[in-house]
Amino acid sequence: MDGNRRWAEKKNLPGIVGHHAGVKSVDLITEACARAGVKALTLYTFSTENWKRPKEEVDLLLNLLRQNLRDKAEKLCANNIIFNVIGRIEEFPPKLKEEIEKAIETTSKNTGMVLTLALNYGGRREILDAVVKVCARSREEGFDISSLKEEDFAEYLYTGALPDPDLIIRTSGEKRLSNFLLWQAAYSEIYVTDTLWPDFNEKELEKAFNEYSERSRRFGK
């Protein structure tokens, strides 16, 4: 969800205003995807690299996330949306972890779209963590690593039972994966738009869906 800070800069506003505007786009796009019948929506919210930003900005981002989790859980329930998180949330402050766990519990009985926030997430770290789990199982159970299949390895990833993404949307003109779902994105279609995330609305989402629907997915066949 790129472009929050650039959106604010273009309007001569503080960066945090752009992040607040980005939250509104999250709400809009989440509900639009649920109405469209999307089964799983994953939003890259806070990466492992984001810790390198100025501490003041990181603190503002984490506080913004905590406040919105507190306010949005009931709304997710009203829309029958399941809340999910991938990433190393154990490294977050206790109060934020508490809000994450509350939102997961509050929406656990819903049956609609799965909304996943990638928090303190990095694709390379995810793969390494999965390798560590496989090795631990090998030591404890005498598991033969040479017999491991791709579909078996995928179960050790943060995403677990989530499907691989059909479509990855990059806003603000970025043309890279930026360490996002590196294993899962092997055959994902990628859609790039110059639109900044706070301006990405339902009309922009429809453009992405329409272009995706015209592509032929052969998966190497």
Put simply, whether the predicted model's pTM sits higher than 0.85 gets the answer yes
Model pLDDT for residues 9-35, shown as the tens digit of each residue: 999 999 889 999 999 999 999 999 999
Q: Which of 4, 12, 50, 166 is catalytic?
A: 50
Residue 220: pLDDT over 80: no
Please write the tens of the pLDDT for every residue from 2-13.
Answer: 999 999 999 999
Catalytic residue among 2, 4, 84, 120: 2
Q: What is the per-residue pLDDT for 124?
A: 97
* Contact assessment for residue 118 and residue 44, using Cβ atoms and an 8 Å cutoff: yes
Q: What is the mean pLDDT of residues 157-180?
A: 96
Above 90 in pLDDT, residue 179? yes
* 144 catalytic per annotation: no
Please name each of the domains of the chain with its CATH number: 4-87+108-213 (3.40.1180.10)
Is 219 a residue whose pLDDT tops 90? no
Task: Determine whether 71 is an active site residue.
Answer: no
**What b/e readout covers 136-165, taking b as 16+ CB neighbours within 10 angstroms?**
eeeeeeeeeeeeeeeeebbebbbbeebeeb
